[in-house]
């Protein structure tokens, strides 16, 4: 039985022709977010594509030891019109060959590259193809890819959508696309294998960190602290490393797309705290690394991650931040768009009250020129007006 292909919002950007000279498409994202599946479906299956799979040790070794091999192979293949290189960070020197071919033969090839570690490219001083590339990010399955959304809809292409699930499934097992092709009985094992392989493949084998034992301790504590404001001094003391080492550990997770920082809102007149929140990219992976299913705050983390990836999808002019003042006022999320600021409170309740909108209203009062509406996202069954400016959005509608 063939495995169904579910449409992804990113395919529109992946297949969109550039104005003028066709840009190189570089798709980043965490392991098992569906990068290879997406490229194979839309690029490889269209024909006349050379595939370089750097996850295959034998292929990787060929390109590592033979400079210029890709150029010679393409010069000998007259029918090839597209080149797909999977996990480019494993042989970053290939980026020089890509640039050479892109510049020497403009328009001759369409290049599609994937990567799961920007850190490897940075550490090896890789050629990041300035001015020639469109960077794209593929996330786990977004709610906005499964149904219509109110906040920053992504405008899905035609095709089969990922089936919807119960809220409990999202919060316990996360949203890796591979789980949609498995029975529920295998989900725990798949997530455990993911966490184990991540440490083995991305950390130990690539020598990303020197002290793997300390990093493993860090992974568990970082997972337990996921969604909270990061206290670097406290966590560094608990792990037994320097603060700078801890900061580097967090940067490893960001560079490998396993975690994201939600930075504090930078505008406004009121004095705010500067601490950032850190989230794991997927709740299922977070629970396995934490070795615990902590019910507190996971709904909030799930909504924040969804909004973060919607912002990333829409581009550099969209940003997700958090707001907390020195006096104790706090709003879980601020959606910053080119035209407005949208404060959002996230509550597990199914019976929201006007009190839940209190700090949303405070934020709008302080930023009245750009902030005209706010939301409370919760488990209420239907949309409702809490105040003149604040609307309740159900978890399966926002």
Shared fold status for 11-138 and 186-394: no
| pLDDT tier at 347, thresholds 50, 70, 90 | very high
pLDDT for the residue 19: 59
d(CA 69, CA 24): 19
With beta carbons less than 8 A apart as the criterion, state whether 268 and 317 touch: no
Per-residue confidence at 22, pLDDT binned at 50, 70, 90? confident
Give 200-206's long-range contacts (Cβ < 8 A, gap of 24+). 201/31, 202/31, 202/116, 202/117, 202/256, 202/258, 203/252, 206/117, 206/120
DSSP assignment of 152-214 equals: S---PPSSPPPPP--HHHHHHH---GGGGGS-GGGHHHHHHHHHHHIIIIIIITTT--S-HHH
Supply the pLDDT for residue 72.
Answer: 95
Mean predicted lDDT score pLDDT of the chain: 89
**The pLDDT of residue 207:** 58
Helix, strand, coil % (nearest 5) of the chain?
A: 40, 20, 40
Q: Which fold has domain 186-394?
A: Arc Repressor Mutant, subunit A (1.10.10)
| pLDDT number for residue 46 | 74
Per-residue pLDDT tens over the stretch 42-89: 888 777 999 999 989 999 999 999 999 999 999 998 899 999 999 998
Instruction: Look at residue 275 in the predicted model and tell me its pLDDT.
Output: 80
Residues 203-232 have a mean pLDDT of: 83
Q: What is the pLDDT of residue 1?
A: 55
Q: Which of the following CATH numbers is that of domain 11-138: 3.30.310.50, 3.40.1360.10, 3.40.1710.10, 3.40.50.300?
A: 3.40.50.300
Mean pLDDT of 96-120: 88
* pLDDT tens profile 284-299: 999 999 988 776 689 9
Contacts of 106 (CB under 8 A, 6+ apart): 21
Q: Residue 18 — very low, low, confident or very high, per pLDDT cuts 50/70/90?
A: low
**In the chain, where are the structural domains located?**
11-138, 186-394
């Amino acid at each position: 039985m063939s495995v169904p292909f579910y449409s992804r919002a990113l395919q529109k950007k992946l297949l969109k022709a550039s104005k003028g000279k066709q840009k190189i498409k570089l798709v980043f994202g965490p392991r098992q977010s569906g990068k290879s599946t997406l490229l194979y479906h839309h690029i490889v299956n269209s024909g006349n594509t050379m595939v370089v799979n750097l996850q295959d040790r034998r292929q990787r070794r060929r390109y590592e030891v033979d400079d210029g091999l890709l150029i010679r192979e393409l010069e000998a293949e007259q029918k090839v019109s597209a080149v797909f290189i999977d996990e480019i960070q494993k042989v970053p020197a290939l980026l020089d060959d890509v640039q050479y071919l892109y510049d020497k033969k403009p328009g001759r090839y369409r290049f599609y590259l994937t990567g799961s570690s920007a850190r490897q490219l940075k550490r090896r001083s890789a050629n990041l193809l300035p001015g020639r590339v469109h960077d794209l990010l593929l996330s786990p399955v977004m709610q906005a890819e499964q149904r219509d959304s109110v906040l920053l809809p992504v405008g899905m292409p035609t095709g089969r959508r990922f089936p919807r699930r119960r809220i409990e499934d999202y919060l316990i097992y996360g949203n890796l696309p591979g789980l949609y092709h498995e029975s529920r009985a295998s989900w725990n094992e798949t997530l455990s294998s993911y966490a184990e392989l991540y440490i083995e493949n991305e950390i130990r084998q690539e020598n990303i960190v020197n002290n793997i034992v300390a990093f493993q301790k860090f992974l568990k504590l970082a997972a337990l602290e996921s969604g909270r404001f990061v206290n670097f001094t406290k966590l560094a003391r608990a792990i037994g490393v320097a603060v700078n080492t801890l900061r580097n550990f967090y940067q490893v997770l960001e560079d490998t797309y396993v975690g994201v920082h939600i930075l504090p809102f930078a505008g406004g007149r009121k004095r705010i705290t500067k601490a950032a929140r850190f989230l794991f990219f997927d709740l299922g992976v977070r629970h396995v690394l934490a070795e615990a299913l902590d019910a507190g705050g996971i709904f909030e983390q799930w909504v924040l991650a969804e909004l973060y990836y919607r912002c990333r999808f829409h581009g550099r002019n969209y940003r997700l931040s958090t707001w907390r003042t020195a006096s104790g006022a706090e709003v879980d999320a601020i959606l910053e768009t080119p035209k407005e600021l949208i404060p959002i409170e996230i509550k597990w309740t199914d019976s929201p009250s006007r009190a839940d909108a209190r700090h949303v209203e405070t934020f709008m009062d302080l930023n009245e020129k750009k902030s005209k509406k706010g939301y409370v996202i919760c488990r209420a069954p239907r949309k409702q007006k809490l105040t003149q400016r604040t609307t309740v959005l159900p978890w399966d509608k926002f």
